[in-house]
Amino acid sequence: MSFAEFFWQGDALARTVALLLLAMSVGSWVVILWKSWLLRRASTDVKRCVAAFWQSANIAEATQKIKAFDRVALVLPLVLAIHLEKNGTLASAGDRAQQLTRVLRNALHGALTQLQHGQVLLATVGATAPFVGLLGTVWGIYHALIGIASAGQVTIDKISGPVGESLIMTAAGLMVAIPAVLAFN
């Protein structure tokens, strides 16, 4: 039996569960592949930027070098954050060390937010996909029991289709959840 035959033999709820699992899987894999690319690129960029920063004679030169290397824009905001305000605002309150700590912390949080983008989707898919698959399982077993009750006599052909559908939904839920959980962690 092909996937198309399996898909069209189910009712509206079974098809909805299958499509939902497919959408969750596609969304997870898009995030997984994008984050893999982003983290690999960021790792290379950060190493190059740190080396360029420490080899520079001054901040202006370091900023120019980092602009060339920082394709993901993780390091440049940290370097630009060191320009402290001196105009009597709350941003300039405290001594220089406190101001520098504050602006660097804010820039670092911005970089972390960029790197953590997509984590919520992975966590949500990892937590809910097994239950969506379980819904398909319960629905398939329900159809098997209805088939048994309506036939009056137990035959393998009345049970095998719905039970097979339920097992496939369970496996699909796990196949969607496991990569999402692994990538999230």
- pLDDT given for residue 149 in this prediction: 77
- pLDDT of residue 85 exceeding 70, the answer is no
Domain count, the chain: 2
Looking at the fold, whether 101 and 153 belong to one and the same domain comes out as no
Tell me: the pLDDT tens digits for 135-172? 888 888 887 787 777 777 777 776 777 777 778 888 88
Flag whether 97 is in a domain: yes
Give percent above pLDDT 70 in the chain: 89
Q: Is residue 86 part of a domain?
A: yes
pLDDT of residue 1 exceeding 70: no
Say which residue, 78 or 8, is predicted with more confidence: 78
Q: Is the pLDDT of residue 9 over 90?
A: no
Q: Is residue 3 part of a domain?
A: no
Whether residue 39 sits in one domain with residue 82: yes
Q: Let me know whether 62 and 125 are in one domain.
A: no
Q: What is the C-alpha separation between 126 and 145, in angstroms, rounded?
A: 30
Q: What is the pLDDT of residue 84?
A: 64
Amino acid at 76: L
Query: Does residue 9 sit within a domain?
Result: no
- pTM higher than 0.85 for the full model? no
Helix (H, G, I), strand (E, B) or coil at 12: helix
Mean pLDDT of the chain: 84
Tens of pLDDT, residue by residue over 21-43, are: 999 999 999 999 999 999 999 99
Are both 62 and 100 inside the same structural domain? yes
The pLDDT, as a whole number, for residue 7 is 67
Q: Which of 85, 115, 145 is the last residue of a domain?
A: 115
73 within some domain: yes
Asked whether residue 44 falls in the same domain as residue 23, the answer is no
Residue in this structure with the two tokens 């390091």, named with its chain if needed: 75
- 90: domain range? 34-115
Q: Please identify, among 73, 96, 115, the residue that sits at the C-terminal boundary of a domain.
A: 115
CA distances from 97 to 46, 81, 103 (A): 24, 13, 10
Please report, as a single letter, which amino acid is at residue 140: G
Torsion of CA 97, 103, 109, 114, to 10 degrees: -140
Residue 2 lies in a domain: no
Asked if the structure places residue 143 within a domain, the reply is: yes
Q: Based on the fold, state whether residues 67 and 97 are members of the same structural domain.
A: yes
| pLDDT at 44 exceeding the cut of 80 | yes
